[in-house]
Amino acid sequence: MSRALASVTARLPKGWGDAGRQIAILVGVDIAYELVRGIADSQRADAIAHGAQVIDFEQSTRTFFEPSLQAFFLPAHWLIDVANQLYLNAQFSVALGFLVWLYLFRNESYYFVRNMFVASMGLALIGYTFYPTAPPRMFPEHGLVDTITDFSNVNHDSALAKIFINPYAAVPSMHCAFALMIGGTGVLVCRSRLSKAFWAFWPLLIAWVVIVTANHYWVDVALGWMVAVAAVVIAHRLIAPARPEAWAWRTTTQQEAEA
């Protein structure tokens, strides 16, 4: 046991104190985010009206392709199952796993990415609070199918789920915001071409997932990506100057050059 603990300790870039701080920050921010996101729930009528507005906008610009895209993939049940699992699990498992890997093996870049994530979550709450929006799956009259419920038997609109999840938080898509931030970081810090290619593809894959499962409109995807870009600017321009030695963006090459 002591040998295993020593092995883990040796891998921590800045010891248990800093690791504990990072865990506390991420857990605290996520709990606050989910609670506020849930509390920001508004009346169903408002959310449905806003969702209809998004559909009207897409129809007016002839870009309401979500029903056709979903209909094309629905016969491939195994592919829908993959999309459902990615939607349900990737947001937590992949994002968290990537942050843990980044902290352990690319620690010089971790703190900037952490701040970027926190900034993006703050921006998203503004959208959820002032423009609660029903997702496409709540508009079956347009031929859209709730694949999570129909294929995976998971009721994400249950009373228990609504404690921490606002069912009317379609705008923006944080699945897509996180995917773009992770993907961009992965391209910059990974060394192998295969890893870089995977992370470059990751945001596009998640964009497909959120649309084919009828959980987001393409507008949500675009706004999610805009949130990610804005979070980069905030982390770089507003947060990093407070502690540039710790919070500025760095890669291993830059750190070695500065040394």
181-211 per-position pLDDT tens digit: 999 999 999 999 999 999 999 999 999 999 9
DSSP three-state, residue 7:
helix
Task: Tell me the angle at which helices 107-130 and 77-105 cross, rounded to the nearest 10 degrees.
Answer: 130
φ, ψ for residue 14, nearest 5 deg: -130, 25
Contact 113, 21 (CB under 8 A): no
30-64 per-position pLDDT tens digit: 887 777 666 655 577 888 999 999 999 999 999 99
Cα–Cα distance measured from residue 167 to residue 161, given in angstroms and rounded to the nearest whole number: 9
Query: Which stretches in the chain have pLDDT values below 70?
Result: 1-9, 36-42, 152-166, 252-259
Cα–Cα distance measured from residue 80 to residue 70, given in angstroms and rounded to the nearest whole number: 9
Determine the pLDDT at residue 60: 97
Q: Read off the DSSP letter of residue 138.
A: G
Task: Tell me the angle at which helices 193-212 and 66-73 cross, rounded to the nearest 10 degrees.
Answer: 110
Contact 148, 88 (CB under 8 A): yes
Contact 119, 177 (CB under 8 A): no
